[in-house]
Amino acid sequence: MRKASISSVLVILLNVAWYIVALSLVLAIGLAALSAFHDIRGGEIDIPVSFSVDAHALPVRAPSLGIMGAQIEHVRGQLKFSPPTGASLVAPLLVGLAIMLALVLFVLGQMGAVFRTLRDGRPFVPANATRIRWIGFAVIAGELVRAGGIYSTNSFAMTHFSANGLRFDARPDLNLLTIVHGLIILAIAEVFRTGTRLDEDQSLTI
Amino acid sequence: MAIRVKLDHLLLDRRLTLTELADRIGITIANLSVLKTNKAKAVRFSTLEAVCRELNCQPGDLLEWTREEP
């Protein structure tokens, strides 16, 4: 398969993904707006939680190693429940989802624009450096929003839920690797910007 | 840019068109047009030599430095 055709296929895939995410975003915003005015009942919702296991209630031992008092801490899981009143719980979750979808939509749009220039055979344009830079910012912002959302749901579970032998806690769960990926994309954007400048100089050398 | 290419003046003096000069020195009209309209960022010595040879001039006749307004 030629490079140009790979770019064309990627542009089509990104366009399809963009429309699917855009539709999901519209649905999420619509449902969030609906849930603010109407009590949405029925169904179950999952929220991410973090908890530690009470060492007295569930002692963990390893006799073969001579360990008699180990503890299970900061376990990540999903808490599934049927919300009694939808408006107070569903709306914030949908707003969080909408923010994440908006970021994904933005990244897909920028990537689509980059691949369109690649397909057209003129990738070294200054606009692409700016687009790649914004993708890097969006990756970092997305991770911060995700970590903030998880912290919020953890706090919600810690405040309202209880279980024998479990202690819910709240942690942001920031994925540093994703932040590093975002920083790498930002660095690549700057390298690309320098490259476009050199390409422009080269094309204007007669 | 502070360096101006006076190709239009020289072409007028020599009664040559841009197309004729492009044919003689083997450079595309588009590139020569970039040079003539002062959009070029750099000029290769080989280009300068070819233009000077065909227009029978010195590099100084082709290029002019003007002080830029701060």
pLDDT tens, position by position, A56-110: 888 888 889 988 888 888 899 999 988 776 556 778 888 889 999 999 999 999 9
Q: Stretch A126-132: mean pLDDT, rounded?
A: 93
Tens of pLDDT, residues B32-63: 999 899 888 899 999 999 999 999 899 999 99
Q: Which of residues 27-66 of B touch A (CB under 8 A)?
A: 27, 31-32, 34-35, 39-44, 47
Q: Stretch A21-50: mean pLDDT, rounded?
A: 84
- CATH classification at residue B55: 1.10.260.40
* pLDDT above 50 for A1: no
Q: How many CB pairs under 8 A join A and B?
A: 23
Asked if residue B70 is part of any domain, the answer here is no
Nearest residue, CB atoms, B44 vs list A200, A201, A205 = A205
Strand partners of residue A79: A47
**Residue A38 per-residue DSSP state:** S
Provide the shortest C-alpha distance from residue B15 to chain A (in Å). 22
Provide the shortest C-alpha distance from residue B34 to chain A (in Å). 8
Asked if residue B34 is part of any domain, the answer here is yes
Residues of chain B above pLDDT 90, percent? 31
**Which chain B residue lies closest to A199 (C-alpha atoms)?**
B41
Range of the domain at B37: 3-65
Which residues have C-beta within 8 Å of that of residue A80, sequence separation ≥ 6?
A44, A45, A46
Task: Calculate the CA dihedral of residues A86, A91, A96, A102 and round it to 10 degrees.
Answer: 130
For chain B, the domain total comes to 1
More confident residue, A32 or A128: A128
Q: Is A198 on the interface with B (CB under 8 A)?
A: no
Polymer length of chain B:
70
Residue A201: list chain B partners with CB under 8 A. Answer: 41-42
DSSP per-residue codes, A40-85: --SS-EEEEEEEEE-TTTS-EEEGGGTEEEE---SEEEEEEE--SS
The answer to whether A204 contacts B44, with C-beta atoms less than 8 Å apart, is no
Asked if residue B48 is part of any domain, the answer here is yes
In one-letter notation, the amino acid at residue A134 is: W
Q: What is the mean pLDDT of chain B?
A: 89
**Which chain B residue lies closest to A197 (C-alpha atoms)?**
B41
How high is the ipTM of this complex?
0.74
pLDDT of amino acid A4 = 56
Residue B43: list chain A partners with CB under 8 A. Answer: 205-206
Nearest residue, CB atoms, A201 vs list B32, B41, B43 = B41
Residue B27: list chain A partners with CB under 8 A. Answer: 206
Model confidence at A41, pLDDT cuts 50, 70, 90, reads low
**Which chain A residue lies closest to B30 (C-alpha atoms)?**
A206
Asked if residue B38 is part of any domain, the answer here is yes
Polymer length of chain A:
206
CA nearest A174: which of A157, A149, A195? Answer: A149
